[in-house]
Structure 1
Amino acid sequence: MSYLFPNYQRKKLELIKGSKNTLIDQTGKRYLDFTSGIGVMNLGYNDPELNQVLLEQSSLLWHTPNLYENDLQEQVAEKLANGKDYVSYFCNSGAEANEAAIKLARKATGKSKIITFTNSFHGRTYGAMSATGQDSIHAGFEPLVPDFIYLPFNELEPVKMEIDQQTAAVMLELIQGEGGVLPADVSWIQAVQSLCKEHGALLIIDEIQTGIGRTGTFYAYEQYQIEPDIFTLAKGLGNGIPVGAMLGKRSLANFFGPGSHGSTFGGNKLAMSVACKVVERINQPAFLQDAQKKSGQLFSGLNQIAEKSKMITGIRGKGLMIGIELADQHTLSVVLEQLEVEGLLALKAGQTVLRLLPPLTITEKEIDQGLVIIEKVLNNLESQIGFSEKGE
């Protein structure tokens, strides 16, 4: 009998120890991790430098309320601004960061209508859930927060028809992670930004999963040659320590004055000490170039597998955020189970996509090991199922 709500579909294994890019379960079995804890552990597990930073801060103070100055918050905020004129609000998760973004957009514009996109995922709190364009996430929780409009992703005409002077913001992911690892088109994003400017709406970019080096640049928006009005971060920012951030252009700062928003634990000293070191290490040209190189290796290997596999219909993504589209949705759970048996942890996205989010510290040798396992599992299943033609 469990004393927990059954809201998670948990696997039987329990992960009890980790080192670098490997996890160990309760039986002692080792797994090569291609999940990063759902895009969180960008610097891998049991990192000595991060452990030391956390240990040193824990011996000073774990927590002070946001009634007092917090120099660690200032340090992280400056690093996250990355040379641009952004200010930060710190919280504890991606959903909280998106809630803050929604509140700021409505307060700053005096409008309530927010355009988001089908298959998006922005979190499970009420505002973030209402922004999410998935009926399955909404089911049983209506009525939702009003004035969210869901439009087709990567299609410009519906945005042109819907955006107007009553629109507070357009909110989107540059790669829809939970929706199937679907990258936004560069021309579409740039056109959406132009429409926002034309109609006095704010552009909110959800970088919860794509930020902190995941796509090969520190922020994914850098690859789209845009500057969002607001963007949100979490996951990789704390490398496992709960932390989120909402950044907005300095011109929006006064709309979040005293009493407008807050968090008891947001920006606590433990989280800030780790986040400061994470950002310092990842936002380096050599580190990001290395991540891009490893991305090329992984994409190349997967494409070679796809050429010979009848089970794969497409591979997409950016950096070390990769989706493998499978021809048959019924095989995805089997593929995940067999990868686990072979010692590789991976994820699903949407109904048919095998999602890979390895730590940015993954080695070339480990990438090759992962590719061997993926090819083995797909080949075995293909022979069992008996695909006659690709995509059938």
Structure 2
Amino acid sequence: MSQDRRENVESLVADLVAIETENPPGNEQACAEYIVDWFADRGIEAELVEEPYADRPQVGVKVGDGDPALVLNGHIDVVPAGDTDHWSTDPYVPTVVDDSLYGRGSVDMKTGVAIGMLATAQLADEIEAGELDGSVVFHAAIGEETAEPGTKTLLDRGYDGDYGVVLEPTAMQTGTSEKGLAWYEIRVNGDPSHASRPDQGTNAIRNAQPVLDALNEYDATVREREDDLVGQAYSTVTMIEAGTKENVVPEEAVITIDRRFLPDETIEEIDAEIEDVLETVSEAHDIETTWERTRTYESAAIETDSHLASVFRKHSKAVADVPTDDWGVSASTDVRNFINDHGIEAITWGPGDLTQAHTYDEHVSLPAAVDGLEALLAGARELLDEE
């Protein structure tokens, strides 16, 4: 491992982590501006894209105009750090302990953004020198944590290509498929009254119980569905809200479910299943319910033996002895925007342990990050030198 490369990776990851970009509310602007300036310092033009939101710009870079074009994608928003008392270090003061860098976003996914930036700058030099025939595109997208159209907007704006690598932490395994995610809010109606006269009203919390029972049965059915690469489907109740005051019988209860679905399930089919569950319980118990799908990350997949996947498996194995088995991502990423919206052959791939994402004391192994940069450069060079 080159000492210079280690220092460059560590310094850039630390700079990115130190810029708080929590979403919600969506504080990506300062980080986007830093990235534009970073590229400008290296003589590379980067655009501050003020779409889809003017106050939350993102970054698009394109170097070269040859074929094929490789897109390196990362998101700069992070989930909130939460109660900082649970952190061993300040989540926005990057701290290195035993070769790991601690801080919110270190794994998810500012290390991926950093190696994408460093690779883009290195490949730009090689393209300019005529050593590579293709071109490279870089994204620093907003809004991934809340399913906003950051990456989709950049692709729509022309920051697209023939191949895409979404640099999420996969321990450098090559993900060719991923689960989808849909969030649903189910409203269970009641009729309010004073708690001193509870029988005058209809308690929405009591009405919610048969709905919860039906949703549990639905989850049991869904869990029987499996995919060889991404595992089980789930339908998990994650929130329930009801009541306005201690002495008021509540008129409404809101149940939230997190539905993880497989590549062969469609969102239209899942909507129909939710509708059927609620209609059945409403008819059986004379309960009024309504529902809304509030957020959707579609599932996505490419062929496991695609050329792009084969190249990245080979170089991940050579650099870090990463297994070459077919593999899928059990979470959801912006790879769906490449595959589903633009028909671009794309993988989810990057250094770092996904189990660290969204945790207290989130951290990334710096040697793994350096390995990731090395493998990324090797894979990119092979792809861009093929025409």
Question: Which TM-score tier does this pair reach, normalised by the shorter chain?
Answer: under 0.3
Point out which structure has higher relative CO (alpha carbons under 8 A, 6+ apart). Answer: 2
TM-score after normalising by structure 1: 0.26
- Larger strand fraction of residues: 2
TM-score by length of 2: 0.26
Q: Which has the larger radius of gyration?
A: 2
